[in-house]
């Protein structure tokens, strides 16, 4: 009887999740950069590409997010 109860308790017990480190400042910096780029996206093709790259969080040499500009 004790074996059954202990196995049920193990099955129903929830594991504690480790908290992930907070990345608030990094996210806020990316949002600020994107907000700044959104005002410049209509000025030139290069600024439009930078804005679209920021949408996907891509690196400078990343080709995603360029849409049909090629």
Q: What is the pLDDT of residue 70?
A: 45
The packing angle between helices 24-40 and 45-56, to 10°, is: 150
The whole domain housing 28 covers 22-57
Q: What is the pLDDT of residue 57?
A: 57
Q: What is the pLDDT of residue 15?
A: 72
Residue 58 DSSP symbol: -
The residue behind tokens 């059954």 is 4
Count structural domains, the chain: 1
Tell me whether residue 64 is in a domain.
no
Tell me whether residue 15 is in a domain.
no
Smallest CA-to-CA distance from 57 within 48, 65, 69 is with 65
Tell me whether residue 3 is in a domain.
no
Q: What is the pLDDT of residue 67?
A: 52
Q: What parts of the chain have a pLDDT lower than 50?
A: 62, 65, 69-70
Tell me whether residue 16 is in a domain.
no
- The answer to whether residues 49 and 66 touch, using CB atoms and an 8 Å cutoff, is yes
Q: What is the pLDDT of residue 24?
A: 82
Tell me whether residue 40 is in a domain.
yes
Task: Give CB contacts under 8 A, 24+ apart, made by 36-45.
Answer: 45/69
């Amino acid at each position: 009887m004790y074996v059954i109860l202990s196995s049920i308790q193990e099955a129903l017990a929830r594991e504690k999740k480790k908290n992930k480190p907070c990345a608030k400042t990094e996210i806020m910096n990316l949002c600020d950069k994107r907000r700044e780029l959104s005002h410049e996206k209509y000025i030139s093709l290069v600024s439009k590409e930078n804005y679209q790259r920021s949408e996907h969080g891509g690196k400078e040499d990343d080709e995603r997010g360029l849409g049909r500009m090629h």
